[in-house]
Structures are given as C-alpha cells and as structure tokens.
Amino acid sequence: MKHRSEKKAVQEQELDVEQIRRDFPILMRKIRGKRLAYLDNAATTQKPSKVIEAIAEYYRRYNANIHRGAYLLSEEATAAYEEAHAKVARFIGAEETASIIFTRNCTEAINLVAYSWGRTFLKPGDRIVLTQMEHHSNLVPWLQLAKEKGIEIAYWPIEKDGTLDLGRLDSLLGDKTRLVSVTHVSNVLGTINPVREIAERAHQAGAAILIDAAQSVPHFAVNVQELNCDFLAFSGHKMLGPTGIGVLYAKTKWLEKMPPFLSGGDMISDVTFEEARWNELPWKFEAGTPNIAGGIGLAAAIDYLSAIGMEAVWRHEQQLVEYTLARLKEMEDIRIFGPLSMRGGVISFELKGIHPHDLATFMDMEGVAIRAGHHCAQPLMSILGVPATARVSFYLYNNKEDVDQFIQALNKAKEYFKR
C-alpha cells in the first residue's frame, strides 16, 4: 500500500499541458479568428516540433535508400530506420525487433494478416470471431477473406452499455474458431475491451488473436508479452507520428511460416530466373523502398511520449473525459454512446434535432474541430440506431479550456439551430 505522501506525489504528477502545447506549432494557429480547440485525435493527432524536425533532418542531412548503399548517407539512414523498429519493439514490450513490421497504417497491418496468415492457415468451415464494434479496417478484410475461402464469421454482440460480456465468448469460440480479432479500444464507444482475458480464452480454444490497437497504444502502456497476443496493429499518425507509417507486431513463430504480403526488392535474400528466397525478419515483409522518413518520425514520436510517460498521458486523458462527461450531463437533449465510466479518451454523442454533420460545421466556425459521421463503423451505427454521431477525442495537449470552448460552442449551436 502506498504511503500518504507517496499518494500525494503521484496525484501531483500531472502533465504540464501549457508547456506541451508550445511543442505543437499548429495549436498556435487561429481558426476563423478563434483559438483552435482540436478534438479529433481519434482520427489523427498533431505533431510536435521534434517529430517535424526529425523528418526534416533526415531529408536535409542523410537522405538515402536503406540496406543498399556502401556509403555513409545510406549507412546512417539504415541505422536510423532499423533503430526505429527497435524503439517500437521496446515501446510495446516485444521480445525481439524481428517481430516489428512497418506498414502504411493499421489498416494495411490487418490486411497483411488477412492476406498472408489467413490465406495460408484458414480453410473452408473455419470461424473468425469479431465484435459488433469493429472499425471497418478490422471487418472488411475478414469479409473479403470469408467470401474467398468459405469461412464463417461470428459476431460477438455488444451489451446495452457498449461493453462485451465475457460470458458469451465461449459459446462463440467452439472448436471451429481459428481467430479472434478485436479492437482494444472502440473508436466510437470508447469501450476498453479486456483483451488479455480474451486472448487467454482464444488460446484455450486453439485460436489466435489479433488486437486492433489503433486507439490504445497511443494512449496508455501496452505490453504485447503481457497480453500474449499473436498479432497487434496500430498507426503512427494517431500517436504524434507522421501519416503513412503503421506497425504490425506478430509472434515470430507466425511470421516465419507466413508467405510475404508483397514481393520485389529488399524482401529477398537471393533470386534466380527460377525462384526466390526470402530475406530475414522483419524485412521479409517490407518490400521495396519503405517510408524511411515515416519510420524516423515515428521513432521521434515514441521518444517524445516516452519522455512524458504513458501513465501520465493516460491519467491526463481520464481527467479530461470525466470533466467533459460531467459538462455534457448538465445539458439537455444530449445522448452519450458507450460506457459512462472506465472508457478511453473518445466520446461519441448525439445532440437532439441537429445532424452531426451540421453540428461539426457549426463547431468549426467556433474554432472547435470535432468528428462527425459513422467513424468507419457503419454496422455499429445500425445497432445504435443512428446514421452518424458527433465525436470528441482527446490527447496529451488538450486541456479544460478546449472542453469549455467545446461546451460553449455546443450551447451556441443549440440556440442557432432552434431558432
């Protein structure tokens, strides 16, 4: 048990948000003459100067292709790109760098598993278990595979509060399930799924597990060894990194057996006119010239987050979520989707009588950037009984002033649209 003084010290370890905000040039921008309150972090995050500078430094000082040049620039680029893999491995607790594959984004990472692992190891009659809250990125690839291979897809229903009932999982698994693919944190509901327990149940049934960690790795500490997942995917741009860089973690026992997703340059060790042999991991799955600058930018983003500490990021977001939910509950005609406690930094809502797209457009006039739409989760929208929702989502540079500006804009929208 922590001593009282230790508890106080932990409570006082809050983020210096004002200092953090100064690291993000875009937050100094005025939007239509108003202070920018950027609340669309589940879609993409802003970039600190250190990430921008790391990318520019690569292009300014050591721009060269990797793994191919016996000269200093290429050696420096290769070292930086390979170190980026190592930093990702350490950040998510992977045992070895060979299990870290760079992709374009989380979507491509999941597609890699569907195409390479799925088409190799699944056969007609096998079952994949998905939840009803999945992003299209963790749904459409499996639908395509199911049509091609004659695979059954079973859907784990959500409860009324937007959570999953673990008691339902065993009946879904059976002896035919080969994969459970589940989001760690819902990008609509904010639900935090118990993926460690799900992985244990899946493995007991002889199934592998894939975790869509696009909304978890950027926001709290994730350790793939503790989760014991077979695959885990996330995107760099949702964690202060550049667009065009994503990550697939996979147990090397699978990667060694899986055929390449793409083939061509750099992913080979030897080629003749008759056949080709593959490169060692992880390069076997990174064909052609990769997004070198993206990898370097992602490494800089990880350095930035690591210096702050993911526990501090998580505590800060939870404070903002609690404050925002309390403010929203004061308002009439607001429907909040998902659990009202223990949720990620995402709040989807409906303001009665105002279409989410109209609301988002109005909010922009007040300098507030929010998301509106189906959030790439149309099947979930049908369950919720709405065509779309409005959504706010938080990150380490947001503060209560952003929330207050958002609430003030909401009240103005109610007055404007009810004239």
Residues with catalytic function: 376
| Rounded distance between C-alpha atoms, residue 7 and residue 10, angstroms | 5
Q: Give dist(CA 178, CA 62) in Å, integer.
A: 45
Q: Which of 27, 400, 393 has the alpha carbon at shortest distance from 215?
A: 393
Sheet holding 371-373, edge to edge: 334-337, 346-351, 389-393, 371-373
Query: What is the residue whose two structure tokens read 């993206």?
Result: 294
| Gap between the Cα atoms of 281 and 284, Å rounded | 5
Q: Is 64 helix (H, G, I), strand (E, B) or coil?
A: coil
Answer for the pair 247, 54: CB distance below 8 angstroms, yes or no: no
Strand 34-35 and strand 208-212: the pairing is unpaired
CA–CA gap between residue 27 and residue 180 (Å, rounded): 39
Q: Which of 53, 52, 73, 51 is nearest to 64 (CA)?
A: 73
d(CA 81, CA 86): 9
Q: Which residues lie below 8 Å from residue 104, measured CB to CB, with a gap of 6+? A: 244, 245, 246, 291
Pure H helices in 205-246: 224-227
| Cα distance between residue 30 and residue 280, in whole Å | 49
β-partners of residue 335 are 350
By three-state DSSP, how is residue 210 classified? strand
Task: Report which DSSP code applies to 341.
Answer: S
